[in-house]
A = this chain, B = another copy of it.
C-alpha cells in the first residue's frame, strides 16, 4: 500500500465513525426517550474522544508528507485532509475539551435564560464562550485575524473582510426594498387549520417532487427541521403547525435541498473527505434555491395551490396569483428563522457585524444587547420588545458557532447566481414547474454542482456551475424584481 492508500483507508474509517456520530445526533432529536439524555451525552463524548484521537493521529502527518496525488480527485482528498489535520493540530487538546464542555452546558443555560428574558443571567456564559472562541481563533490564525480563522471552518477561503464588503454592498438596497414593500398593501394570508397528517403527506410529495431519494433517506418530526448524514443515509426532519402549513412545506423543501446535495454527490466519493458538501455557504445555496427561488416561484406555487385546494378545500385564497402573494408575504418581525426573503439577510448582516466585533475584541459582551437593539432599530425600523426576540433568540453563539451566520447569506448569494445561470440555460423551466415538475432544475444543480461534493473549493464550484464569478448582484436583482412585481413598487 502506498502512503496515499494507507491514509485514505484510515480516513475512511474516520468518516464512517463521523457518520455514526451524526446518526446519534439524529436519534437524539427524533427518537430518543427523554430519560436517556445523560447516558447519550456520555456515548457521544466517548465517540468524540475516539474521533479527536483519530483526527490528531500523528501518522496523518507522516502519510501526508509521503503521499503523492496522481489526479485531481486525489489532490482534493489530500487538500481536505491537510486542512482538517492542520486545524485539529493547531488547537490545544485542553482548549478543545474546554470548548466542548462549556458549549454543551451553555446551550442549556441559553435556553433557560431565553425563556426568562434573562440577559444578565446569560452574559457570564456568553463571555466565557467568546473568550474560548477568541482563543481558538487566535490559535488557528497564528498571527492572522481570529474571526477569519473561525469563518474558515465553515467556509474555507472566505474572510471577514470579503464578507463585509459584500454585505455593505447589499445592505442599502435591501433596506430600501424593505421600506418600499412595507409601504405597499399587504397580501392576504391563509385562513383556517390544516390537518397534521394531510400536511405530512403533502410534505412527502413535495420532497419527492424536489428529488429526495427515499431509498437513502427518511423524514421524521423534530422540534427544529434539519438534514443529517452523508452518502447513502441522508435523513431529514420537519415540523407541523396546524395554522401555518407553509412552515411544514417550506422547511421540508429547504431540508430536501440540503439532503439532495449530499445524496447527489458522486457515490464514488462516499465515506471519503470530499464525499460531503464543501461548505456551509454552498450547502445553504442548495437549500435556499430549492426553498425560495424554485419553491416560492410563481410557477411552482401555482401547482402547490392546486394541490392544497384539493386536499384542504377553501382556505380563503381566491386564485394562484393571490396564493403566490400569500406565500411571499413580507412581514416585519423580530425572529430570523421566521423572516421572509426580503428581511432574512438583514438579520444575518447584523449578527455578522456583532459577532465579528466580539471576536476581534471591538465589542464587549456587556455592550452586546445595546448594540443589537440599536442596529435592529436602524435596519428594521422598530425597537426590540424583549431579549427573547432580540439577542437571546438564536442558539448559535451558545454553541460556539461564531463565523457560521454569514454562510446563510452567502448561501442566498450563491443561490441567486446559480438560479440565474440555470434559468439562462434551461428553457421551459416555469412551464414544467407549473406542473409540479422540478426535475430539470434539480437535475441541473446536481449535474453542475452537487455531484462534485468537496472536489472543488466553495467559490470555485459555484463559479464552474454558473460560468461567471459569483457576486451579490443576481440575488439583489432577483429580490427587487420579484417583490417589486408582487407589491407593485
Contacts and interface: CB of A to CB of B under 8 A. Distances in A.
Interface of A: 12-14, 16-17, 19-20, 23-24, 27, 31-36, 38-40, 42-43, 45-47, 49-50, 213-218, 231-233, 235, 270-271
User: What are the nearest 10 A-B pairs in CB distance?
Assistant: A36-B233, A35-B215, A16-B46, A35-B216, A39-B232, A13-B46, A16-B43, A36-B232, A16-B42, A17-B46
Nearest to A216: B35
Nearest to A40: B233
B43 A19 contact: yes
Contacts of A216: 33, 35-36
Contacts of A27: 23, 27
Contacts of A40: 233
Contacts of A42: 12, 16, 271
A401 to B, nearest CB: 25
A20 B16 contact: no
20 contacts: A16-B39, A16-B42, A16-B43, A16-B47, A17-B43, A17-B46, A19-B39, A20-B20, A20-B46, A32-B233, A33-B216, A33-B217, A33-B232, A35-B215, A36-B233, A39-B231, A39-B233, A39-B270, A40-B233, A42-B271
A24 B271 CA distance: 17
A216 B23 CA distance: 19
Main secondary structure of the interface of A (DSSP, over half): helix
Nearest to A17: B46
Given A40-B233, A46-B13, A33 B270 contact: no
A47 B35 contact: no
B218 A31 contact: yes
Given A17-B47, A33-B218, A43-B16, A232 B23 contact: no
Contact of A232 (B12, B20, B35): B35
A445 B277 CA distance: 52
A42 B14 CA distance: 11
A172 B374 CA distance: 89
Name the residue in A12, A13, A16, A235 with the highest tally of chain B Cβ atoms < 10 Å from its Cβ. Answer: A16
A40 B50 CA distance: 18
Nearest to A215: B35
Contacts of A217: 33
Contacts of A24: 20, 23
A406 B432 CA distance: 64
A32 B31 CA distance: 13
A271 B39 contact: yes
Contact of A45 (B16, B32, B215): B16
A441 B251 CA distance: 49
Contacts of A235: 33
A243 B361 CA distance: 70
B20 A43 contact: yes
Nearest to A233: B36
Contacts of A232: 33, 35-36, 38-39
Nearest to A213: B35
A47 B15 CA distance: 11
Contacts of A32: 233
Contacts of A231: 39
B33 A233 contact: yes
B49 A13 contact: yes
A125 to B, nearest CB: 27
Contact of A215 (B34, B49, B50): B34
Contacts of A46: 12-14, 16-17, 20
Contacts of A218: 31, 33
A72 B13 CA distance: 39
A31 to B, nearest CB: 7
A20 B47 CA distance: 8
A338 B235 CA distance: 36
Contacts of A38: 232
A215 B36 CA distance: 8
